[in-house]
Structure 1
Amino acid sequence: MTLASRFTEIADLADDVPALRDIRHHIHQHPELAYEELQTAALVAEKLEQWGWQVTRGVGETGVVGTLKVGEGTRSIGLRADMDALPIVEQTGKPYASATHGKMHACGHDGHTTMLLGAARHLARTRRFSGTVHLYFQPAEEYGVPSGAQKMIADGLFDRFPCDSVFGVHNHPGMPPGTFLFRKGAFMAAGDKVTITIEGVGGHAARPHLTVDPVVVASSVVMALQTIVARNVDPSQPAVVTVGSMHAGTANNVISNSAKLELSVRSFSEDVRALLKRRIAELVQAQVASYGATAVVAYEEGYPVVVNTDAETEFATQVARELVGEENVLANADILMGSEDFAFMLHERPGSFLRIGNGAGEDGCMVHNPHYDFNDANLPIGAAYWTRLVEKFLAQ
């Protein structure tokens, strides 16, 4: 059999499913938040070493990189999986539910890590490629700035473990398992955080005329913010301004001195991003001034737009077509307003970020939900996909 005469199929991973399921359930049961992924990183490193990979620990604090070189090929590829969990109380009722109250894998990173480990095991076993594979097991995708991708890059990720192209995946509730979603160009939004602190004059609830009520001011600001996307942004340009948090006061008979708003801001172009930043600051200051209050607006630019390069996305799409069939591949999926720190890696190297269905209907619970669970049906599919992607990318 020549190197390129056969590429991995899903059935080739059938015997690995019980072991992969056990790994995924173990990670799920022991969730760790951003930059705390010590047990998860140790498990990943142990498995990689057991299978013959060269392992580097502590990349970007708790990140792990596995390297495998086969043959004389000069090309290299990077595959990334995230490892961190979220501060959510799990309510799935699963036998492998989180054993740590207040922490759970509510975004499927346990599944992402396990799929890549499955590929690592199969690649080491079959070695049907010629070149170098780097597996980037990344911490702190959920953290915000500085994220795990940023810290790994700052720690010399692409200098120490270079690749010609880099690829990543995220599960996608709402689509059946084994469905792959791709999009060339901008795929996921930039995500920024805004904190607005409003200072008024507190006092007795029975004498509001002697106060500057920050609750009233904050309420006015919330309503006014709704006009930015509706009346300032070109309707053909995607944008979202969401007030996700509003806090003021501790008692019903006390008007507090201050109120605090926290916003999530999403956009798909640098021009719109700059417009949103400017208009939020202008509108907030105008609103609070009209009430005699003051405000401090802290605008934190977060993850940039996820922009997939055309050639790598076309290649990744074709691999999926061969693996699961044309009918299970969306080559031009809708843009997503969620954000993803894999965008930082795509700023450094050409590549593509793809999605894999996690379940539809009642089985398609949204991520960041206490009832969410990664779909184990994807474990052999994702592992086979990563393996086949490497085999074709590094084929002689």
Structure 2
Amino acid sequence: MENDTAATLGSLSSHQGLSDPQHSDVVPLSAATLDELAEKLAAAATVVGIGESTRASRETFGVRDQLFRRLVRRHGFRALAVQDGAGVAAGLDRYVREGEGSAESALDGAWRPWRTAEMAAALEWIRAFNREHPDDPVRIFGVKPAQAQAEDYDAVLDHVRGSAPERLAEVASHLEVIRTAHHTDEHVQRARGMHPGRPFADHARDALALVRSLPDADDADHAGGILARMRLIVDFHERSVAGRGNYAGDAAVWADALGDAQRRAGLRVVYWDGIAHTSAAETVLGLAPERGPQPSVGSLLRRRYGARYVSVAIGFHHGDLGVVTVPEPAGELIDAMLGEVDLPAHWLDLRRDAVRRRWDGPAKARVISGVYDASRDAAEHMAVASLADAFDVLIHIRRVSPVRGLP
């Protein structure tokens, strides 16, 4: 890939004065630049996938949030799709449409990367918008099927406590250790050296067998019953990254869920996820190159929607993410090439013919996952055969700081 930044300065916008009263002080792009970007994204899009290379940066989240707000306010987008279970997303949707509880309480059962002050503020903005537009609200839905939640573990243990208290300790020995995955993913526990050892899916299956053996198991086997909850727990752990043994996710399931929800509601959708999921082309993960190219949610959406699926990647050069300090990227990464522009932030429209000719080709973009290790930074990436096929727009931020986690 030719690295000729000077020739593409016509498509790059730099940091300017911030004039939008809704604009966060950590968003390193001006309000005018964000306006321009949102207009370009919305021009012909039904679904806009906005991916981040990390879920732990205030700046990358802030840019994504500000683009979303503009797509809603000025361009008629009325749905937000997130990587989480249908049950969690339904709770978020109830909050933003009906004001049920608070943003923080709505996020209680959400996937850990969503449980931040920044995400709570985004939900509060959507709730405020919906109060002003009760007949034209923004909806939220999840791309994953319904998943086990903390209350499912509690319900199973309460049932055993009441029906077979002599088996409670045995069932609890399996469930208490694996419910920690709802706070810190099992594969992250392994990477951090805090995993207890035995696969969580094995514990879940053993707990299911114990519950099935209880005298009243047949009575508990109905929708919402104890066996149904236990099967949900088993499914959660079997379909996790650790349970599957790979990071690919269920791209086809997630893409179908998003596409079906969009079609039923007839709404324009913004999809928030990591860049390996929002990429409009198949990806190869640097930590698992032996698996070869894998379909992404975005690649399947591109097949379904064509140019009406627009893919945006927000990356960064270096910075402190709180849990880890990320160094300057290796020279072969697109993040390093974009970092040659000495600006707080800039963007690149790969749909412009001249820009595509200069920047397209095989590329590697850094991905900061929950198992990121700075000592192997060069391997922490996703690779694509064509940068311009994978992303329509690249946004690059020079330095980042950490998001603020909720208690």
- Identify whether the pair has TM-score above 0.5, normalized to the shorter chain: no
- Structure that is richer in strand per residue: 1
Task: With the length of structure 2 as denominator, give the TM-score of the two structures.
Answer: 0.32
* Structure whose alpha-carbon radius of gyration is higher: 1
Task: With the length of structure 1 as denominator, give the TM-score of the two structures.
Answer: 0.33
